[in-house]
Structure 1
Amino acid sequence: MTAFTIPAGVLPEHRDLYYGGAWHTPAAGRYITSAAPATGQPIAAAPVAEADDVDAAVHAAHAAFGGWRRMLPAERGRLLRRAAEVLRAHADELALLDALDTGNPMTMLAGDARFAANGLDYFAGLATELKGETIPMGDGNLNYTVREPMGVIARIVAYNHPLMFAALRIAAPLAAGNTVVVKAPDQAPLSLLRLAELIGDIFPAGVVNFLAGGRACGEALTQHPLVRKITLIGGVPTGKAVMRSAADTLKPVLLELGGKNALVAYPDADFEALVQGLVQGMNFTWAGQSCGSTSRVFLHASIHDRVLEAVARLIPERHKPGLPTDPKTTMGSLVSEAQRDKVEGFVRSALDEGARLVCGGKRPADPALANGFFYEATVFADMRPDMRLAREEVFGPIMSVFRWDDEDRLFAEVNAVDYGLTGSIWTRDLATAHRAASRIETGYVWINNTSQHFLGAPFGGVKQSGIGREECFEELLEFTQVKNINVKLAAA
């Protein structure tokens, strides 16, 4: 297959670490070549930060904190808006870079930079809204609270939307007056380097800092005494490791972790809308690599067969794996060979445990995709709650379909997993919708919808799907600490 020619201006010119307003060679001199998971084609070298690099970056952020926290909130907001303008201007090239580095379709990734830009604007507008309270104490006392920034915030982002997560997740801590160190996903680090080139010099030196590296980089961030809060978008095992490591310095954490999310369809659901939403909710576009994917589908027995038949026809038509740089592609590749091996292991276990394969279940036959980590959109039916596929997160393109006819048993099975990120309810009856929303144990619920995020609406999980809320005013508060001040007034 002919190698894809990368247009000028897409790849980052700098291949080093960015902190303190400048580019720095990794202390150990280590670089890795990032390769396209869809083709195996080498893309570019990326730096590998170790503990010494983390220490230098954190100290740079700490040194910048005093000046940044004293900057007028409206001025911090103005700089965030400038960064948003830059992201919009470069959205298409950033989408192409992430498509190459992650295997996700370029046309779908174009929205990532724009959503991140909208988030920067959103939090820029909230920069002046961090207000305290007055507390009645009787005559002779004035008691009030103020919200203050915490200091250096470390943000570790995931590989499925690397540019969007890196750009969007700096907004709330910066608006609140903190400085930030962002760690790129080791599977897809290149768009973070390009982001540093585009927006790094908008902010004072040391306010935003960007690192790339592996486990050693992440562990050094979680353990550093000058990092005041650590955040992660990732899997549950990584979240637990971060939390354990942060405990030594009593760092608070904000974790957006995995999901085994349920879509529940009642008999009166709009048939066509349900079928469309069911396919959309699985996020096959990203090869199922999305923590919010509704990967467990519970269809009422009265509509089960008809819906499943329609889904089995629609999925292969809509989501056929293809090269991410092709504008017609609607489903990309998995990010790595290890991730594809994991998916194939789940398919084998489902078959061994008696699930029925409805569609997919194999690598695509197209020779143009032979060098990539592609896997077909896959659906299993006749699922049972005790199956491995019913309990564990795959982070791949596998949908599991269950049949139900008793509402109490339904929600017992829906809530039996350790996860609680998103849920989707499909019904035309208002009372049924609200009753179901109250019974499902998740942090985020769609009714007659799936997959959409809304700035201002708190996103986050319960149980082992995470701690804290993002994309909302509560996220801004996550990066502040409350100080109480009591003033003893002189006697009249």
Structure 2
Amino acid sequence: MTLLEPTTLAPSTVVPSYVRDAWWSPAEGAKTQSVLDASTGAEVAKVSAEGLDLAAVVEHARTVGQASLGELTFHQRALLLKQLGQYLSGVKEELYELSASTGATKRDSMVDIDGGIGVLFTLSSKGRREMPNSQVYVDGDVEALSRDGSFSGQHIYTRIPGVACQINAFNFPVWGMLEKFAPAFIAGVPSIVKPATPTGYLTEAIVRHMLASGILPAGSLQFVSGSARDLIDHLDYRDLVGFTGSASTARALKSHPNIVHGGVRFTSETDSLNAAILGPDAVAGTPEFDAYVASVVTEMTSKAGQKCTSIRRVIVPAGMRDEVVAAVTERVAKRVSIGDPRTEGVTMGPLASIDQRGEVLSSAARLLDGGGRIVMGSLDAPDGTDPAGAFVGPLLLAFDDAESAAVHEIEAFGPVASIIEYDTLDHAVALAALGGGSLVATVATHDPEVARALVLGIAAHHGRVLMLDRDDARTSTGHGSPVPHLVHGGPGRAGGSEELGGIRSVLHHMQRTAIQGSPDMLTAITGEWHTGAAVRTGTHPFRKSLAELRVGDQVASGLRTVTLADISAFAESTGDKFYAHTDPVAAEANPFFPGIVAHGYLLLSWAAGLFVDAAPGPVLANSGLERLRFVTPVAAGDSIRVTLTAKRITPRETEEYGEVRWDAVLHNQNDEIVATYDVLTLVAKV
């Protein structure tokens, strides 16, 4: 199959779909929907999926996509994401040009396009750093289920055997797609992308580049341009739907029989009346006040307020409303210029469509009917803007009744926010909670006690809380910017699901299973050695390259006796003269020790000497020590021995070495466990 070269669509072109590893367009005469430039009203493209066989699209993902991704390990998939991010970084300018038609300024486009590409890099890095180079992810410690160790349990994650279908909102046509695609790809699950119609032509452009890169395995990505109303009809318990959009649409989708009864996994990120709380200490003139005002203005105007994370409720201490309104108004007047984003100096563009403009103005009118009054801005189109465009200026409403139902229930998805006052910190918490669950809140204060009271009060109602003060104001990623390292989602009205969150987002696309069996069987399934499983001795494992080494390779030392002179010498040389190692009377009075005992780190040092093969060889370096536990104290006259077993072997895809995790156990002369830990080493591949 030959991929089409990435090109900019000519006006009136029908945006094609990419399905079953080929581009597809509807037949001549198919019913289409026009998509208009947000600033000028000119037609940008047409959209239609009439005649598309979605059942075949799903089946292609489950067969071809699952097979091609299944051949790869987590690390191999993660490395492909890095390569994809590098490729897309070279075509950003073309995407910026197209993004302007959606109403996005250059800064808005950077948030969407660069932010989406950044997700690829972040998850690629975390996938290679935090996941094994295998196809099974081990979750937690082994659970002993028998006294003799012959029967144990272990939790593992394996990829779901279906497809990840993403249904996205219009506001982030690139980031919204990539932040769902990246974790599904690392998990090994193929994706079907259904973008929102008003901005789907930009999603098509980046999908076209992704395919032209030649990086993606067959069937791993399909793209549907136009209606996909019967998509869920073809899904079952093997599949996942990730939805971003309105709460009403989410409710309609969640009521589908295949979700209610058929077990289709469904996650949603929906409406959110996010709050920003100004602490009582953050008075005018403080850095916190200035940072708060800047955040409110940024969130009202970035993407013209069309962000699920935008600040909708500005919650300030009683008596400070007028000061905040004045400061916000002044900053908007100085920094916000509204118009076509292709015009020099414009800092805020239009809404994504005329329909969206109508929705925002209608919601603003409902807020006014619910008790709000305009304290900044107007419902009229901003001066100097094209009447055919979807322009709305920043609008700030004040509510005298902080508990007004409208302010906590109606979201105008645009540059609209409402300001209310609180009396006490408990009152501020209660007001934030009236939103019914939100994606994010900001708390602006430099008082740790205020921060603690507010954050702990509102945390259970939010997916993320930003604490904003003078120390992080310049480095903060901001109220409205989800980062791929942290969870994006929220309870209640916000959808009740999670996206992103580092490796957590990968695990969303996998099934956690408890496996039970003997140590040998657990080792065979997980690829990680379990205590009691078969071992191999003979050639010292430090003499083996990564190509030769196998889990279960083991070396066991003889005993070495610890003397009082050894303990004293270690205390003198290190300066660690803690009384348990130097004062016999005090040591005997300690309920944990029989008298003077050896330093734990002395025992670890000796253990290394007992298991290390000193001559140059494949082992390049010791890169760490984890999970250390001291179990039984060692007194003068006791002896120790060490058993070292290759536990997990992780080759690095781009290096000539890999990491080996060794299970280390110290015993005393009575075969009691003295200490347990994992040793990490870097070992040459050959």
Q: TM-score, normalised to structure 2's length?
A: 0.66
**Which of 209, 216, 219 is matched with 1:206 structurally?**
219
* Maintained 8 Å contact 1:420/1:465: yes
Alignment of 1:476 with 2:496, yes or no, is: no
Contact 1:350–1:387 under 8 Å retained in 2:
no
Q: Distance in 2 between matches of 1:183 and 1:470?
A: 17
Are the aligned partners of 2:25 and 2:49 in contact in 1 as well (CA < 8 Å)?
no
Decide whether aligned partners of structure 1 residues 197 and 235 sit closer, same or farther in structure 2, where only a CA change above 3 A counts. Answer: same
Residue identity opposite 1:446 in structure 2: L
Q: Is 1:80–1:124's contact at 8 Å kept on the other side of the alignment?
A: yes
Distance 1:368 1:71, change over 3 A: same
| Cα distance per residue 1:220-261 (max 9 Å; x no partner) | 236523761100111111111121112232112121111111
User: Matched residue of 1:192: which SS?
Assistant: helix
Measure the CA separation in 2 of the matches of 1:308 and 1:154.
43
Does the C-alpha gap of structure 1 residues 218 and 98 become closer, same or farther in structure 2, counting only changes over 3 Å? farther
Give RMSD over aligned pairs. Answer: 2.5
1:166–1:350 CA distance, 2 compared to 1 (3 A):
closer
Which stretch has the larger CA shift, 186-195 or 23-32? 23-32
Distance in 2 (CA, whole Å) between partners of 1:381 and 1:373 is: 24
Alignment of 1:55-204 (within 5 A): 55-64=55-64, 65-100=66-101, 102-127=102-127, 129=131, 130-133=137-140, 134-138=142-146, 139-150=149-160, 151-200=162-211, 201-204=214-217
Counterpart residue number, 2:394: 377
Whole-angstrom distance in 2 between the partners of 1:383 and 1:90: 50
CA–CA distance in 1 between the matches of 2:127 and 2:252? 32
TM-score of the aligned structures, taking structure 1 as reference length: 0.91
Kindly state the Cα deviation for residue 153 of structure 1 after the two structures are TM-superposed.
0.7
Aligned to 1:11: 9
Partner of 1:366, secondary structure, is: coil
- Deviation digits for residues 343-384 of structure 1 (CA, Å, limit 9, x no counterpart): 222333343444221121223353442110111110111343
Determine if the alignment matches structure 1 residue 249 to structure 2 residue 249. no
Deviates more, 1:140-149 or 1:432-441: 140-149
Query: Which residue does 1:298 correspond to in 2?
Result: 315
Corresponding residue for residue 24 of structure 2: 24
Question: CA separation in 2, counterparts of 1:177 and 1:382?
Answer: 49
Find the partner of 1:427 among 438, 441, 445.
445
Amino acid of the structure 1 residue aligned with 2:295? G
Cα distance 1:489–1:227, how it changes in 2: closer, same or farther (>3 A)?
closer
Distance 2:234 2:380 in 1: 41
SS in 1 for 2:297: helix
Question: In the alignment, residue 444 of structure 1 is paired with which amino acid?
Answer: R
Report what 1:4 is aligned to: none
Question: Measured at CA, do residues 26 and 226 of structure 1 come closer, stay the same or move farther in structure 2, by a change above 3 Å?
Answer: farther
- Alignment partner of 1:335 out of 352, 358, 368: 352
- Mark the CA change 1:396 to 1:14 in structure 2 (over 3 Å): closer, same or farther: closer
Letter in 2 for 1:254: T
Q: Which stretch shifts more, 137-146 or 263-272?
A: 137-146
Give per-residue Cα distances to partners, 1:137-186, cap 9 Å, x unaligned: 23322433331111211011111011121123200011011111010111
- Do 2:38 and 2:351's aligned partners in 1 also have CA atoms closer than 8 Å? yes
**Counterpart contact for 2:370–2:405, Cα < 8 Å:** yes
Change (3 A) 1:324 1:457: same
For residues 71 and 87 of structure 1, do their structure 2 counterparts lie closer, same or farther at Cα, with a shift above 3 Å needed? Answer: same
Distance 2:150 2:58 in 1: 44
- The yes-or-no answer on 1:442 pairing with 2:462 is yes
Distance 1:58 1:240 in 2: 23
Percentage of identical aligned residues: 23
Work out whether residues 31 and 47 of structure 1, in 8 Å CA contact, stay in contact via their aligned partners in 2. Answer: yes
Aligned counterparts of 1:111 and 1:164: Cα–Cα separation in 2: 8
Aligned pairs for 1:311-390 within 5 A: 311-384=328-401, 385-390=403-408
Structure with higher RCO (Cα < 8 A, 6+ apart): 1
Structure with the larger strand share: 2
Contact 2:439 2:491 in 1 (8 A): yes
Q: Is the 8 A contact 1:92 1:110 kept in 2?
A: no
Inter-partner Cα distance in structure 2 for 1:475 and 1:489 = 30
- Cα displacement (A) at 1:412: 1.9
User: Do the aligned residues in 2 keep the contact of 1:260 with 1:294 (CA within 8 Å)?
Assistant: yes
Secondary structure, counterpart of 1:434 in structure 2: helix
Amino acid at match of 1:213: G
Query: Which has the larger share of helix?
Result: 1
Kindly indicate whether the alpha-carbon contact (under 8 Å) linking 1:87 and 1:113 is maintained by their aligned counterparts in 2: no
- Whether the 8 Å CA contact 2:14–2:48 is kept in 1: the answer is no
* Larger mean Cα displacement after TM superposition, 234-243 or 343-352: 343-352
Change in Cα spacing, 1:276 to 1:126, as seen in structure 2 (3 Å) is: closer
Post-superposition offset of 1:191: 1.4
Which secondary structure does the structure 1 equivalent of 2:350 belong to? coil
Higher Cα Rg, which structure: 2
* Runs of 5+ consecutive residues of structure 1 not aligned to the other structure: 1-7
Does residue 39 (structure 1) correspond to residue 40 (structure 2)? The answer is yes
In 1: Cα distance, 2:484 partner to 2:267 partner: 18
Q: Secondary structure at the match of 2:53?
A: helix
SS of the residue corresponding to residue 359 of structure 2 reads helix
Residue 206 of structure 1 deviates from its aligned partner by: 0.9
Between 1:156-165 and 1:268-277, the stretch displaced more is 268-277
Closer/same/farther in 2, CA of residues 465 and 49 from structure 1, 3 Å limit? farther
| Contact in 2 for aligned 1:112/1:161 (Cα 8 Å) | yes
